């Protein structure tokens, strides 16, 4: 659990009092790798693994998408930022990957921070920074592996809308891809909850069920918090008055906003399912405990009169001292009579319990 929390909580690398705009990179982060797409209606060019100096110049005739993977080299990061005139405060937020999803507006570009899920078993969300300029989109990722491959494939087709519109539509497509990447994560957690539901009412369900439900509920809370912030980001984009966003893009952002609302509702529903499963597990444990206690109580209740009979006739009063001292002990059939009496009492009590439905009932048979 402690390792899980350490992976989810990202510490700040800058010390308190550090000057704003200071770039402090993570020594364990991979070095930056730069990929570039340049496209318009008719052509598309792609360059992979280039240096900052090899980034093609911006042009009004084409849209440029520069995707940077890795934040492990401050000099490369600053060189890229100089090419696109990125503000120091925004660049500081790029390398400090604990940022909450947000949207910031600068004089000539928009800066958007989003969280992207990965394929790990916990809700470890990678920070993705998106800069939208007049004819370019600049994206930064922490590590290799993203949800942008469908967009790269769409850029190869002339018939796709992303080829027919400007940089703002490409930024919308990237944001939409990140938001939609939460749906497979939600499906994966739903499958885990279905598997746990089958275990909850089984007789061998142990404390591991509670641990699993607690972990899933914690992950869902993290994912819900992130999608809620994404909803605010998309709404801020829709309400911003900036010439960088066209009416076509704003129209499509409404669809992204609907997806964020749907995700929030689905994550809340999944969290409620976790709570319901926890209550179901505690109820099942309580029922099994009650069944055990009922059996033990019935056994103890049956042996109470039997113990009384055995104790009564086990008293050592001598018949020779007085004819009133247990004459049954001198009887030829005294011992068989005591056994028959105790058996009759036990049978009568079992019959009484059965008629009252305390044993042998259908409800008892259905319990796990």
Give me the CATH number covering residue 133: 3.30.460.20
- Kindly state whether residue 1 falls inside one of the protein's structural domains: yes
The sign of the torsion formed by the CA atoms of 253, 258, 261, 263 equals negative
Please check whether residue 215 lies inside any domain of the structure: no
Q: Is residue 220 assigned to a domain? A: no
DSSP string, 194-229: HHHHHHHTSTT--HHHHHHHHHHHHHHHHHHHHHHH
Backbone angles phi, psi at 12, to 5 degrees: -75, 140
Residue given tokens 């906003």 in the structure block:
257
Of 85, 118, 152, the position where a domain reaches its end is 152
Q: Please state, in angstroms and rounded to a whole number, the distance separating the CA atoms of residues 361 and 354.
A: 8
Contact 25, 74 (CB under 8 A): yes
The reported pLDDT for the residue numbered 2 is 42
Residue 337 pLDDT = 84
Contacts of 84 (CB under 8 A, 6+ apart): 66, 109, 131, 133, 136, 138
Is 29 within the bounds of a domain?
A: yes
Give the structural domain span for 27.
1-11+21-152
166 is a domain residue: no
What's the domain count of the chain?
A: 2
**Helices and strands (H, E) in the chain, number of each type:** 11, 7
Residue 280 within any structural domain of the chain: no
In a domain, 273, yes or no: no
Q: How many CA atoms lie within 13 A of 145 on its CB side?
A: 10
Q: How far is CA 277 from CA 186, 239, 288, in A?
A: 17, 40, 16
Question: Would you say residue 231 lies in a domain?
Answer: no
152, 169, 188: which is the final residue of a domain?
152
Q: Which residues pair with 131 in a beta bridge?
A: 111, 138
Q: For residues 285 and 280, what is the distance between their CA atoms, to the nearest angstrom? A: 9
Angle of helix 182-200 relative to helix 207-239, nearest 10 degrees, comes to 160
pTM, rounded to two decimals: 0.77
- Domain final position from 152, 184, 201: 152
Low-confidence ranges of the chain (pLDDT < 70): 1-21, 119-123, 201-205, 319, 361-368
Question: Where residue 346 sits, what CATH number does that domain have?
Answer: 1.20.58.340
DSSP-assigned beta bridge partners for residue 50: 34
Tokens of 105: 């507006």
């Amino acid at each position: 659990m402690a390792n899980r929390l350490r992976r989810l909580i990202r510490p700040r690398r800058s010390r308190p009092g550090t000057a704003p705009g200071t770039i402090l990179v993570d020594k364990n982060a991979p070095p930056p790798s730069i990929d570039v797409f340049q496209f318009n209606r008719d052509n598309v060019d792609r360059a992979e693994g280039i240096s900052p100096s090899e980034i093609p110049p911006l042009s009004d005739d084409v849209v440029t998408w520069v995707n940077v993977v890795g934040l492990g080299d401050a000099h490369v990061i600053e060189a890229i930022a100089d090419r696109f005139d990125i503000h120091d405060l925004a660049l500081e937020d790029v390398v400090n990957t604990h940022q909450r999803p947000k949207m910031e507006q600068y004089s000539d570009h928009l800066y958007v921070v989003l969280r992207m899920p990965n394929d790990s078993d916990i809700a470890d969300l990678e920070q993705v920074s998106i800069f939208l300029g007049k004819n370019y989109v600049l994206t930064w990722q922490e590590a290799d592996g993203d949800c942008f491959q469908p967009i790269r494939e769409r850029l190869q087709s002339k018939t796709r809308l992303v080829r027919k519109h400007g940089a703002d539509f490409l930024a919308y497509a990237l944001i939409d891809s990140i938001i939609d990447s939460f749906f497979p994560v939600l499906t994966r957690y739903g499958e885990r909850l279905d598997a746990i539901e089958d275990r909850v009412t089984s007789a061998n369900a142990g404390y591991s069920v509670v641990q699993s439900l607690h972990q899933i509920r914690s992950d869902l809370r993290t994912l819900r918090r992130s999608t809620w912030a994404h909803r605010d980001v998309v709404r801020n984009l829709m309400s911003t008055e900036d010439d960088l966003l066209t009416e076509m893009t704003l129209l499509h952002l409404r669809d992204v906003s609907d997806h964020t609302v749907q995700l929030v509702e689905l994550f809340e529903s999944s969290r409620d399912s976790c709570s319901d499963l926890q209550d179901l597990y505690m109820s099942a444990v309580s029922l099994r405990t009650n069944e055990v206690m009922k059996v033990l109580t019935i056994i103890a209740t049956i042996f109470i009169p039997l113990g009384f009979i055995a104790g009564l006739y086990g008293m050592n009063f001598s018949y020779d001292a007085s004819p009133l001292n247990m004459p049954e002990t001198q009887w030829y059939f005294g011992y068989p009579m005591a056994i028959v009496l105790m058996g009759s009492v036990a049978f009568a009590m079992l019959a009484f319990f059965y008629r009252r439905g305390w044993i042998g009932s259908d409800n008892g048979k259905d319990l796990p």
